A = this chain, B = another copy of it.
Amino acid sequence: MFFHQDDLQFEVEVEEPNPRFAKMLQQAIGGAEGEMRVALQYMFQAFAVPRDHEEYRTLLMETAVEELGHIEMLATAVTKNLEGASRAQREAAREDAVIDEMMDSGQPRQALSAGLHAMPVDSNGVPFTGNYVVASGNLAADLYANVMAESTGRLLATRLYEMTDDPGMKDMLSYLIARDTMHQNQWHAAIDSLGEHLPVPASFPQEKENGDVNYTFMSTTREEREDPETPWTSGDAPDGKGEFSSGRQPGSGYADVEAMVEEMYNEVN
Contacts and interface: CB of A to CB of B under 8 A. Distances in A.
Interface size classification for chain A: 35 or more
A222 B4 contact: yes
29 contacts: A1-B5, A1-B7, A1-B69, A1-B249, A4-B221, A4-B222, A5-B221, A6-B61, A8-B251, A23-B108, A24-B108, A33-B136, A47-B75, A47-B79, A55-B228, A66-B220, A69-B249, A121-B130, A124-B126, A129-B130, A154-B200, A158-B201, A158-B203, A158-B204, A177-B214, A181-B209, A184-B198, A186-B232, A188-B239
Interface string A100-111: 000111111101
Contacts of A160: 112
A68 B150 CA distance: 23
Contact of A264 (B99, B190, B264): B264
B129 A114 contact: no
Contact of A188 (B111, B116, B198, B230): B198
Contact of A181 (B4, B158, B184, B214): B214
Interface string A24-55: 10010011110010001001100110000001
A193 B231 contact: yes
Contacts of A27: 108-109, 112-113
Contact of A244 (B2, B44, B104, B185): B185
Nearest to A75: B47
A199 B113 contact: no
A167 interface: no
Contacts of A239: 181, 184-185, 188
Contact of A214 (B23, B33, B59, B182): B182
B136 A122 contact: no
Contacts of A267: 257
A159 interface: yes
Contacts of A175: 210, 213
Given A123-B108, A193-B231, A268-B261, A210 B178 contact: yes
